[in-house]
Amino acid sequence: MIIQWEKFSIARDREKLIPFIKAALEVNPDIHLWGSPWICPGWMKNGMNFKNDEQTKKAYALYFAKFVEEYSKEGLTIEAVHHQNEPGYAQVRWTIPLFVDFIKNYLGPEFEKRKLETEIWCGTMSHPEDSNIAIACLNDADAMKYIVGFGLQWNLESVVPTLSKGGRVWQTEHRCGNYDFEAKYWDRKRYSSSMPQNDHRYGEESWLLIRDWVAAGVNAYSAWNMVLDTYGKSLGNWPQNALLVVDRSAKKLIITPAYWVFRHFSQYVKPGATRIGASGSDEVLAFVNPDGDIITQVCNKGDAQKELTIQVGSELYRFTLPAHSWATLRTMPATGTIDLTRNNKTAAERSMKITATQRDYRVALPVGKSGRLELLTAAGKVLKSLPLNNQTREIHLSRQSLPSGLVLLRVVQGKTITTARIFNTL
């Protein structure tokens, strides 16, 4: 018997979920959607275990494909799926061989057959033993034909370096706080069975957890509860913290300290940023954004304020960081300005040399590495991106091909970024 899911429906989603997704996209169109189920249809389980038979596995692979296709009809792109949330903890348990088998022989081939561009991820792993599932997938060449990355959460940051050899790694669920058990950065005596804290200490815990995972090497970090009420109960009876809290009686929205932690990172560290080295403290992270900005995130978990001096390149920045606080330093790399009103004047910008003629600019490039040359507006919008190989020595840019006024040039070669500015006159 082949199950075709003729009655497959997302009617409940259309009523209770999709309108909110679309409303959010109207505010910010650059929201990326991925999905991971807590539980499969009940008939696919035998007790707590996912059934290991041909019919069930084929049906479940088609179930995921239908989900992606139906959301697409609503104008919503599901960019990735992780086919089981927390296989070692949640309501459906998978053996290691079954998990690997489902991806390589059912889910992957079904997406391939239907030409779906949705990515398949190995996730989301939470229980310590779940790391064995992820490593088994990593070591299976047939499964890795379909897997593009791994989703990890809670206490599994130690396996990030291993898994990152096979693909991207996401942290897929921020810890929710208010634990009735021992946990890092948490005093169990603070647990409340009636209401979450949503306090500054949870904000500090959030900063430190993001620090740990980013230092381990993840490519993305996900919040968990976006909005809850003051009682903090989403699933079950565990009062959990959230980024935003609704006070129902006062009809008021409360912005929590954890929200500001996530905003510090998400507002200033842009997609495509690269983490760079930072020394002198374990309470610092640094990144270089695609536009060349250097973003330094710092935290002071101590009981006294700190006088900080941060060196970025040859520049020193001094400021006071209050006790139990966090801050962001945004700096732009030093660039040279070329006066093109004087013909044939050559300027050097960190080994990039630009010569202006009446008709074009000749850009002598840093040598020895492949990469790309980007032309940007003063606001950071990329106008053009030109590939470079390790033999490229010079590129000519026509004046007529560039907008009038200030234009930024950026050469990206691995982790090395070289920048310069020109003022184009037509």
Neighbour order of strands in the sheet with 220-221: 33-35, 78-82, 119-125, 147-152, 168-171, 220-221
Cβ atoms of 99 and 40 within 8 Å: the answer is no
SS3 string, the chain, reads CCCCCCCCCCHHHHHHCHHHHHHHHHHCCCCCEEECCCCCCHHHEECCEECCCHHHHHHHHHHHHHHHHHHHHCCCCEEEEECCCCCCCCCCECCHHHHHHHHHHHHHHHHHHCCCCCEEEEEEECCCCHHHHHHHHHCCHHHHCCEEEEEECCCCHHHHHHHCCCCEEEECCCCCCCCCCCCCCCCHHHCCCCCCCCCHHHHHHHHHHHHHHHHHCCCEECCCCCEEECCCCCCCCCCCCCCEEEECCCCEEEECHHHHHHHHHHHHCCCCCEEECCCCCCCEEEEECCCCCEEEEEEECCCCCEEEEEEECCEEEEEEECCCEEEEEEECCCCCEECCCCCCCEEEECCEEEEECCCEEEEECCCCCCEEEEEECCCCCEEEEEEECCCCCEEEEEHHHCCCEEEEEEEEECCEEEEEEEEECC
First-last CA distance in the chain: 71
**d(Cα 77, Cα 73) in Å, to the nearest integer?**
9
Kindly give, in sequence order, each residue whose CB lies less than 8 Å from that of residue 250, ignoring residues fewer than 6 positions away: none
Structure tokens that stand for 281 in this block: 């403290």
Of 73, 168, 162, 164, residue with least CA distance to 120: 168
- Pairing outcome for strands 78-82 and 33-35: parallel
> What is the residue-level pLDDT of the chain in tens, covering all 426 positions?
678 888 899 999 999 999 999 999 999 999 999 999 999 999 999 999 999 999 999 999 999 999 999 999 999 999 999 999 998 776 789 999 999 999 999 999 999 999 999 999 998 999 889 999 999 999 999 999 999 999 999 989 999 999 999 999 999 999 999 999 999 999 999 999 999 999 999 999 999 999 999 999 999 999 999 999 999 998 789 999 999 999 999 999 999 999 999 999 999 999 989 898 888 888 999 998 888 889 999 999 999 999 999 988 778 899 999 999 999 999 875 433 333 333 333 333 345 778 777 788 888 876 667 888 888 876 667 888 888 887 777 888 888 888 877 788 888 877 677 777 777 766
Q: Are 123 and 131 in contact (CB under 8 A)?
A: no
Enter the tokens of residue 351: 């080994």
pTM value is 0.77
State how far the Cα of 379 lies from the Cα of 355, in Å rounded to an integer. 24
The predicted structure's pLDDT at residue 63: 97
Kindly list the structural domains of the chain, giving each domain's residue range(s) and its CATH number in brackets, ordered by start.
Answer: 11-271 (3.20.20.80), 275-331 (2.60.40.1180), 337-424 (2.60.40.3080)
Measured CA to CA, the distance from residue 139 to residue 137 in angstroms comes to 5
Q: Residues 6 or more apart from 278 whose CB is under 8 A from it?
A: 284, 285, 286, 296
Report whether 214 contacts 264 (CB < 8 A). Answer: no
Question: What is the predicted pLDDT for the residue at 349?
Answer: 36
How many angstroms separate the CA atoms of 183 and 312, rounded? 35
